[in-house]
Every structure is written in structure tokens, then in C-alpha cells.
Amino acid sequence: LTSKLPGWGTTIFSVMSALAAEHRSVNLGQGFPDFPMNQELIAKVNEAMYNGFNQYAPMQGYLPLRETLAEKVKFLYGTDVDPDSQITITPGGTYGIYTSLTTVLQPGDEVIIFEPAYDSYVPNVLVNGAVPVMIDLQFPGYKINWEEVRAKITPRTRMIMINTPHNPTGAVLSENDIKELRKTVEGTDIFILSDEVYEHLIYDNIPHQSILRYPDLLERSFVSFSFGKLYHCTGWKLGYCISSPALMAEFRKVHQYNCFSCHSPSQVALAGFLRDRDSYLQLGNFLQAKRDHFQELMAQTRFTPMPSHGSYFQCYQYHRISDESDHAFAVRLTKEFGVTPVPVSAFYQNGKDHKVLRFCFAKKDETLEKAAELLLKV
Ligand code: PMP
Ligand code: GLN
């Protein structure tokens, strides 16, 4: 066998979660909530199963769910998207990203990716025979240098990937970033892939700069979302992708011969549950309180916080504690102190180590308190 991903090992999330389990440490590594999801939504899934929604959903997804999503988009971003031709339900946000890439990429095409980057982006580009072109987010602050982006564009540039709020850093894009993005792609045939799985997990009254606000950009974009992140059920692996009718038609050609359609009963349940706007409008406050609580607890320790305005994650520098590599330090924190973070160097292709650790604060208060108590000893 000739490997499609020679030299690639196991994803950092599996590695750190396995290490946490082995050492019974508090796992603030892989991003998933440890508090229960909404019981009413669980009841709705059961109800849908008892009511007979147990056969294939339509390839595009259950229509009432797509209609409710279109209403949500209109309400939040003021843009009309057609549920029939522009929204497809996917088995998770990662699949939406992968399928978008597969839809547009030809061998040798270049894709601009900002680092640190969510770990699936680069391998997704590589298995499609395309070339990732990496650009560093400026350290610290993790802002995009748009002049550098424009300098890296070549006739082979097919796509630019953005992610706001950003994993792993919690950075968010501003309206000015969108202006710069528009300036960068105007007059070209470059596509945009926008990973917005943390759409509602944005704090400090900052508006989420969704591509869905900008119909001119949506014409050339795929925007990927995750119900796992929306409703604290990452194990459901359900999400959706929104694009222009022309691009979505091509996306569906790929999707229909890959997974075809997604879990029916959860789509039926979500169609009803999503109509209650509070079910997503309250999310930001709920997680901001977690972030603030974690930051307050961590203020007693020798870790140095970096700003986080969104996502599940808060990064810390540790120069006041150690000069070990972030990987070695993350392993030692697990083994000797009983708390597991993720080393941010894992999100760089060349393993660039700014000595930063990512902690997930989407946890019960007692979990965060336990972790901080252990980290106080470091
Ligand atoms: N993109 C980012 C930035 C993420 O953090 C995640 C999930 N953790 C995903 C995509 C994937 O979401 P899903 O689990 O729905 O595939
Ligand atoms: N997105 C989650 C994280 O960043 C994990 C998802 C996964 O394990 N693939 O930690």
C-alpha cells in the first residue's frame, strides 16, 4: 500500500485523551463538554424513533430541519438562504469541510491555511492531492496578516480556509478581516471555506463575523457548522453545510455517493428543538461564564493567560514555570499533576513551539475547580 498520508500518526486529540484515561487525569485536552446535554432534545430523538423516523432521511437532509436552519440564518445574519438548494445536513462539521474540499480541489491546487490550524485541515487537503500553503497567524494575538496572504496567492490558489471563532486559540475575525478577505479574493476565482462550528460560542459582546452575513462572499463559499458544538452532543456527529446553489449542487454530487444521508431521528428532533431561539441564544453567556470562572481559578496559578474571545478553549503560556517543550510539559502535567491540556505545537505543520497549552473549559464547574486546584501545585 502506498499511504495517502505518509508520515502521519494519530491525531493529538486521541493521543491526549488516551493519556488522560491511562493516568486518570482531568481531561481538559480534547474539546468536548462533560456536562449533560438537554434532556428535552434527548426525549425528542426518542419520540422521533417511536414515531417511525428510522429509515433514510433525504440525501440533502430532513426538509423541516433545513427550513428551520434557513429561518435561523435569516434571523441572525439577515441573509436569505434557500433550504432546498443551499443547505445540506452532514455527519458533522469535519465532514462538511472534507466534502467541500473534495468538491472543488484538483490535484496540485493550493489551499491557504492559517496556523495554528485545526488538525483535520491539512490532511484533508493532502488526501485530495492538493497542496496546503501555510501562513502563520501573528504571535501573540493570532491575527491574520492580509498582505502576507496576498503575497502567497498564485495562479494555483483554489481556496482560502478561515475559522472563526478559532480553534485552538479562541481568536475571532473582525469586520475588517472580512473586508480584507473580500479585497483578497475579488476578481479571482478563489473559493472560501469557512469553519464556523463555534458560531454561538463567542464572548465579550463581539458579533460573529459569519460569511452568511455577506451574500457576495457566500457565492464563493462553503460554510460548515456542527450540531455537536451547538447542543453539547459532540458524539452525535451531525452538522450542516451552507453554500451557493451552484456550489451546493456539486457538493451534493460528492456527498450522495459518500454517506448519502444522516441519522434521521436526530434531524427530526433538531427541527423542532431549533425553533426555540433561546436554545442557541443563551449558549454564549453560558460558556462565557465557564471561561470567566476558569480564568479566575487559573489566576491563582503561575500560568499566563492569552486572550480567548470564543470557542471552547483558553490558551496559557507557561514561561514562568518551565522551558520544556509544550508537548513534554503537557505530558508531564498529565502524569505528575493529573491535568491534561493539548500542546498548541500540534496545530503547526513544522511543530512550531511557542510554548502554549490549550485547555478546554466546556466542563462542569467542579471539573474546572478540580483542575485548577491541581494546577496550583505546578
Ligand atoms: N472544526 C473545528 C474548528 C472544531 O473544533 C471541530 C470539532 N471539534 C470541528 C470542526 C468538527 O466538528 P464535528 O465534531 O461536528 O465534526
Ligand atoms: N474539535 C475537538 C478539539 O479540538 C476534538 C475533535 C476530535 O477529537 N476530532 O479538541
Give the whole-angstrom CA distance, residue 107 versus residue 128. 7
Residue 30 Cα to ligand 2 midpoint, Å, equals: 5
Q: Does the CB atom of residue 31 touch ligand 2 within 6 A?
A: yes
CA-proximal residue: ligand 2, atom 4 (nearest): 31
pLDDT band at 314 (very low <50, low <70, confident <90, very high): very high
Nearest alpha carbon, ligand 2 atom 8: 13
Find out whether the beta carbon of 167 lies less than 6 Å from any atom of ligand 2.
yes
**How confident is the model over 178-210, as pLDDT tens digits?**
999 999 999 999 999 999 999 999 999 999 999
Share the mean pLDDT of the chain. Answer: 98
243 lines ligand 1 (CB under 6 A): no
From the CB of 163, is ligand 2 less than 6 Å away? no
The mean pLDDT value for 103-128 works out to 98
Ligand 1 site, residue 118, Cβ cutoff 6 A: yes
* Predicted pLDDT of residue 351: 96
What are the grid coordinates assigned to 186, written together? 475579488
pLDDT tier, 127 (very low <50, low <70, confident <90, very high otherwise)? very high
What is the CATH T-level fold of the domain 55-277, as seen in this structure? Aspartate Aminotransferase; domain 2 (3.40.640)
Closest residue by CA, ligand 1 atom 3: 167
**pLDDT for residue 369:** 98
pLDDT tens sequence across 332-357: 999 999 999 999 999 999 999 999 99
Please state, in angstroms and as integers, the Cα–Cα distance from residue 260 to each residue in 44, 49, 228, 254, 264, following that order.
23, 20, 20, 9, 12
User: Does ligand 1 come within 6 angstroms of the Cβ of 130?
Assistant: no
Q: Which fold has domain 12-30+282-375?
A: Aspartate Aminotransferase, domain 1 (3.90.1150)
Residue 255 dihedral angles phi and psi, to the nearest 5°: -60, -40
Q: Is the CB of 169 under 6 A from ligand 1?
A: no
Residue 99 Cβ < 6 Å to ligand 1: no
Question: In the prediction, which pLDDT does 190 show?
Answer: 98
If you measure from the C-alpha of residue 31 to the centroid of ligand 2, how many angstroms do you get, rounded to a whole number?
A: 5
Given the C-alpha cell 451534493, which residue does it identify? Answer: 252
CA 285 to chain centre: 19
Residue 54 confidence class, pLDDT cut points 50, 70, 90: very high
Q: How far is the CA of 320 from the centre of ligand 1 (A)?
A: 32
Q: How confident is the model at residue 164 (pLDDT cuts 50, 70, 90)?
A: very high
Q: DSSP letter at 234?
A: G
pLDDT for the residue numbered 259: 96
Confidence of residue 220 (pLDDT cuts 50, 70, 90): very high
Q: Which atom of ligand 2 is nearest to the CA of 17?
A: 8
What is the structure's pLDDT at 20? 98
What span, in angstroms and rounded, lies between the C-alpha atoms of 128 and 325? 32
Q: Does residue 90 sit in helix, strand or coil?
A: strand
Confirm whether pTM is higher than 0.90.
yes
Residue 238 CA: nearest ligand 1 atom is 15
Atom of ligand 1 nearest to the CA of 97: 10
The whole-angstrom separation of Cα 57 and Cα 72 is 21
Q: What pLDDT, on the 0 to 100 scale, is given for residue 118?
A: 98
**For residues 312-326, average pLDDT:** 98
- At 363 the pLDDT is 98
- Domain locations along the chain: 12-30+282-375, 55-277
Q: Please choose from 234, 236, 342 the residue to mutate so as to test ligand 2's pocket, defined by most ligand atoms within 8 A of CB.
A: 234
Note the ligand closest to the C-alpha atom of 360.
2
**Residue 293: what pLDDT?**
98
**Which residues contact residue 257 at a Cβ distance below 8 angstroms, ignoring those fewer than 6 apart?**
none
Q: Please tell me the distance between residue 325's alpha carbon and the centre of ligand 1 in angstroms.
A: 26
- Determine the distance separating the centroid of ligand 1 and the alpha carbon of 206, expressed in angstroms: 21
* CA 119 to ligand 2 center in whole angstroms: 8
> Which residue's alpha carbon is nearest to atom 7 within ligand 2?
13
In the prediction, which pLDDT does 173 show? 98
